[in-house]
């Protein structure tokens, strides 16, 4: 149980492109979903927290106009990186939990901006 699916797993695109990443909880209703990014050899950095039907809560220093988060249902959240640039290249990982249960992570999306 507690499977989180993330798509796509790998994206390579040109600078200035917008990229959408999907995160789905497959066998449970996710009360909350989280978006992280991780640079090589560093720990996870929380970008934002989203609850279904509410605006996402962004961590300090994360540009909300740059990283658009939509949590349309209890099983789907999307992260759109708008007008991506090479410095946005990173490993983006979503996670989800139901109420007080542990967070379970998707497989991650490796984003490379040329």
Partner 1 sequence: QKEVEQNSGPLSVPEGAIASLNCTYSDRGSQSFFWYRQYSGKSPELIMSIYSNGDKEDGRFTAQLNKASQYVSLLIRDSQPSDSATYLCAVRAGGTSYGKLTFGQGTILTVHP
List all residues 6 or more positions away from 64 whose beta carbon is below 8 Å from its beta carbon.
48, 56, 58
Cis peptide bond upstream of 8, omega within 30 = yes
Decide if 89 contacts 82 (C-beta within 8 A). Answer: no
**Nearest to partner 1 of 19, 104 (CB atom):** 104
Nearest to 6 by CA among 95, 101, 66, 111: 95
| Residue of 5, 17, 82, 103 that binds partner 1 (CB under 8 A) | 103
User: Mask of contacts with partner 1, 51-80, x by CB under 8 A?
Assistant: x-----x-----------------------
Tell the smallest beta-carbon distance from residue 83 to partner 1 (Å): 26
- Check binding of 44 to partner 1 (CB under 8 A): yes
Reduced to 3 states (helix: H, G, I; strand: E, B; else coil), residue 88 is: helix
- Residues near partner 1 (CB under 8 A) are 6, 31-32, 34, 43-44, 46, 49, 51, 57, 93, 97, 100, 102-108
């Amino acid at each position: 149980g507690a499977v989180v699916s993330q798509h796509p797993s790998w994206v390579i695109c040109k600078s200035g492109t917008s990229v959408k990443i999907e995160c789905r909880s497959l066998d449970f209703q996710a009360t909350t979903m989280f978006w992280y990014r991780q640079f090589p050899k560093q720990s996870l950095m929380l970008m934002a927290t989203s609850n279904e039907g509410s605006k996402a809560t962004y961590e300090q220093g994360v540009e909300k106009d740059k990283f658009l988060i939509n949590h349309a249902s209890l099983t789907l959240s999307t992260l759109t990186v708008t007008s991506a640039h090479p410095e946005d290249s990173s490993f983006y990982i979503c996670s989800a939990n139901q109420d007080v249960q542990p967070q379970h992570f998707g497989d991650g999306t490796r984003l490379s901006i040329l």
